[in-house]
Amino acid sequence: MFKDRVDILLAGLLLVCVAAGVALLIGGGSQASQLNPSLDKAIARDMTYQAKVSFLERLYAPVNELQQNGKYEAALLKLDELSRNYPNEAHGELLRGEILLRMQVIPQAVEHLAKAVRLSADYVDRQSPLSRRSLIDQLIANQLPKLKAKALAQENASLQKTLQNLYYLQGRLAGGCE
């Protein structure tokens, strides 16, 4: 097996490398994670969030494309198809609300936007890449005064529900909790 000094030297080096590898595995890893284990958790959390955002962008790309081309009915059909695989997914609810808003179906749009915010606070978070804060703020500014006046003039259960959802969205924009 060991024919000369080179073979013996290589076998010795191999044995040293294996021993060093075992020592590293048993020793617990890098010094950075030993000094600050919360750093690893923060990095893992950020990577998970970025992966989620990327996944949602890819998953709903056909819906966004149809929406941008003004094909709202087709976009809603595509959302229905996706919601079979991902029921109660917040981003799907948000997109449905946006499309219905563009179609001027205000009560249903408000309902879906409120549901999306209930499922994920990312949509009212200023730092989130998924934030739709300006859209929601504009919706509240445009619709709340109109709906308040209508609610005072007539007693309608669906109108009250829409008004409640608008108040909920307004509260979330102001920093309120569930």
Which CATH number does the domain housing residue 157 bear? Answer: 1.25.40.10
- For residue 17, being part of any structural domain is answered with no
Distance CA(178)–CA(121), nearest Å, equals: 10
Q: What is the pLDDT of residues 34-93, one digit of tens each?
A: 566 777 888 888 889 999 999 999 999 999 999 999 999 999 999 999 999 998 899 999
Q: How confident is the model at residue 177 (pLDDT cuts 50, 70, 90)?
A: low
The residue segments making up the domain with residue 58 are 40-120+129-173
Q: What is the pLDDT of residues 129-152, one digit of tens each?
A: 999 999 999 999 999 998 888 888
- For residue 26, being part of any structural domain is answered with no
Is the Cα torsion angle 65, 116, 130, 144 positive or negative in sign?
positive
- For residue 109, being part of any structural domain is answered with yes
- For residue 163, being part of any structural domain is answered with yes
- For residue 85, being part of any structural domain is answered with yes
Q: Are 91 and 130 in contact (CB under 8 A)?
A: yes
Predicted confidence (pLDDT) at residue 167 exceeds the cutoff of 90: yes
- For residue 65, being part of any structural domain is answered with yes
- For residue 18, being part of any structural domain is answered with no
Domain total of the chain: 1
Residue 103, class by beta-carbon neighbours within 10 Å (0-12 exposed, 13-18 middle, 19+ buried)? Answer: middle
- For residue 178, being part of any structural domain is answered with no
